[in-house]
Amino acid sequence: MKLFNSMTRTKEEFVPITPGEVKMYSCGPTVYNYFHVGNARPFIIFDLLRRYFEYRGYRVKFVQNFTDIDDKVINKANDEGVSYDVIADRYIKEYFTDAEGLGIRPATYHPRATETMDAILDIVQRLLDKGHAYIAENGDVYFRTGTFPEYGKLSHQPLEDLQAGARISVGELKEDPMDFAVWKAAKPGEPAWDTPWGTKGRPGWHIECSAMANKYLGATIDIHSGGLDLTFPHHENEIAQSECANGCTFANYWLHNGFLTIDNQKMSKSAGNFFMVRDAAKEFGYETIRMFMLSAHYRTPLNYSAESLKMNKTSLERLYESRNNLEFRISKAAGDTMTAEESAKLEALGQHRIHFIEAMDDDLNTADALSSVFELVRDVNAYMGANQDATKAFLSGAHALLMELTGVLGLVQQRTEENIDTEIEELIAQRAAAKKNKDFAEADRIREYLLNEKGVVIKDTRQGTQWSRV
């Protein structure tokens, strides 16, 4: 499997540190609000990467943090006159509501900064001990960037260029303008933690990721991921801290998703051009948003528009329709063994799995992987249409393949109450009886009633009446 590594700027074959296991860390949300569709992109993509690794037989340890203490969380808490943890608890809960809707599985670990204080204090202390960090006059702790000559290697900017662009301002507490805070001294009224070095305060943002990756996955991890905007300074700073504290490579592969844009501008809270996931979901459905994210390669920019969402909704409906048709036919079909022709057909359908895997192995080419799924659906629909007496065995095989591939993508797994609604089944049976008795007026009345009162459309097929909700 090949992945594009931002560190080397090439597609590289993925080789795990421990055979059969993947240790991956992805930067998670700052929990002071609901998350927007732009934030959803890395959450969906790296959930997909995790699912795909599992599909290919890897055990995956996946960590995604919650930044539950920072200026934004504190400001929001002050605005509402509550403690910071009330805000964090609320938006962590809301994160899981939206994530579940989007088919994002919970990570193996979801550490919060404030619950990882032991590991954070430990890494800051190690940086101080080794001279990679220093305590400023006001009690802040800064990373001494000059002690890490490789600084800039991820964003491919030499340290000298970065230094030339930075200026030290009057009253600056830092030794060098490129130094950055790993620990922030307590300001009056702010939540603060005691430290071994004596200055009460709270962690900087970058150090929390270094500490958590180290605590849950070890000193060297396989994959570190996040949005493109995190490359510099966030990931560069994580690398500096982790590699100086541990004396080894921090992450073997760095993956960055491209921006989700709107009118071709990056969607962001600060620019105000964003849609919260839950608002977009009200209009198009959560799963449509996932489908939309997978419709493009994760590294390319992806533009959000109502037309694009609508198109993806239609595509998703096609997948559901194919699944539902298969399930209906399975419920009516007989035959526990396939005919020779069916066996050959099912084997031919397996080609779509091969193409799907080829696409996903090529740096997660979800657009091509989805094309394979649609080709599968097209072939299955055509075969089912032409072979009204297809066996249950064949139909079940085709269904299993469709569910396997869509399952890897985290799509088409939803169930409605369709199969369990006895009242509707009862009405359909009454309509069938009316038709048999040539009472077409009654049959039509039931059809109208189902549509208007139950929101159910019915379709007569050779195997009987199939129904679905509008």
Which residues would be at the binding site for Zn ion (CB under 5 A)? 27, 209
Name which position in 113, 119, 260, 377 contacts ligand AMP (CB under 6 A).
260
CB of 453 to ligand AMP, least distance (A): 43
- Contact status, residue 37 vs residue 289, Cβ threshold 8 Å: yes
Phi/psi at 229 (5° precision):
-65, -15
Q: Which stretch binds ligand AMP (CB under 6 A): 112-120, 264-272, 408-416, 438-446?
A: 264-272
- Contact status, residue 145 vs residue 137, Cβ threshold 8 Å: no
Closest CA to 221 of 107, 110, 9, 63: 63
Tokens of 422: 């006895």
Contact of residue 41 among ligand AMP, Zn ion, none (CB under 5-8 Å per partner type): ligand AMP
CB of 324 to ligand AMP, least distance (A): 33
Contact of residue 209 among ligand AMP, Zn ion, none (CB under 5-8 Å per partner type): Zn ion
CB of 186 to ligand AMP, least distance (A): 23
Tokens of 316: 């998703």
Name which position in 104, 124, 267, 360 contacts ligand AMP (CB under 6 A).
267
CB of 50 to ligand AMP, least distance (A): 15
Q: Spell out, one character per residue from 9 to 48, where the chain touches ligand AMP: x when CB under 6 A holds, - when not.
A: ------------------x-xx-------xx-xx------
Spatial neighbors of 126 by CB under 8 A, at least 6 apart, are 245
Report the distance separating Cα 242 and Cα 132, nearest Å.
Answer: 11
Residue with Cβ nearer ligand AMP (302 or 333): 302
Q: Which stretch binds ligand AMP (CB under 6 A): 50-58, 104-112, 138-146, 255-263?
A: 255-263
CB of 238 to Zn ion, least distance (A): 6
Residue with Cβ nearer Zn ion (74 or 209): 209
CB of 269 to ligand AMP, least distance (A): 7
Which residues from 212-251 bind ligand AMP, rule CB under 6 A? 226-227, 229-230
CB of 384 to ligand AMP, least distance (A): 39
Write out the DSSP string of 138-156: TS-EEE-GGG-TTTTTTTT
Name which position in 252, 257, 288, 315 contacts ligand AMP (CB under 6 A).
257
The position carrying tokens 């929001």 is: 76
Size of the site for ligand AMP (CB under 6 A): 17
Bridge partners for 356 per DSSP: none
In this structure, the number of other CB atoms found within 10 A of the CB of residue 470 comes to 7
CB of 274 to ligand AMP, least distance (A): 8
Phi/psi at 64 (5° precision):
-135, 120
Closest CA to 290 of 313, 264, 269, 307: 313
Helix, strand or coil for residue 365?
coil
Residue with Cβ nearer ligand AMP (50 or 266): 266
Spatial neighbors of 284 by CB under 8 A, at least 6 apart, are 309, 310, 312, 313
Longest CA–CA separation in the chain, Å: 93
- Contact status, residue 256 vs residue 58, Cβ threshold 8 Å: no
CB of 27 to Zn ion, least distance (A): 3
Cβ-closest residue to ligand AMP?
227
Residue with Cβ nearer ligand AMP (114 or 257): 257
Name which position in 95, 151, 259, 298 contacts ligand AMP (CB under 6 A).
259
Which whole-number Å values give the CA distances from 459 to 319, 332, 412, 441, in the listed order? 18, 15, 21, 17
Residue with Cβ nearer Zn ion (117 or 294): 117
Tokens of 44: 């969906």
Does residue number 410 form part of the binding site for ligand AMP (CB under 6 A)? no
- At position 129, the amino acid (one-letter code) is D
Q: Work out whether strand 21-26 and strand 59-64 pair parallel, antiparallel, or are unpaired.
A: parallel
Question: Prior bond to 233 cis, omega within 30?
Answer: yes
Report the distance separating Cα 251 and Cα 47, nearest Å.
Answer: 18
Name which position in 147, 155, 199, 268 contacts ligand AMP (CB under 6 A).
268
CB of 46 to Zn ion, least distance (A): 12
- Contact status, residue 363 vs residue 2, Cβ threshold 8 Å: yes
Residue with Cβ nearer Zn ion (209 or 390): 209
Site for ligand AMP, rule CB under 6 A: 27, 29-30, 38-39, 41-42, 226-227, 229-230, 257, 259-260, 266-268
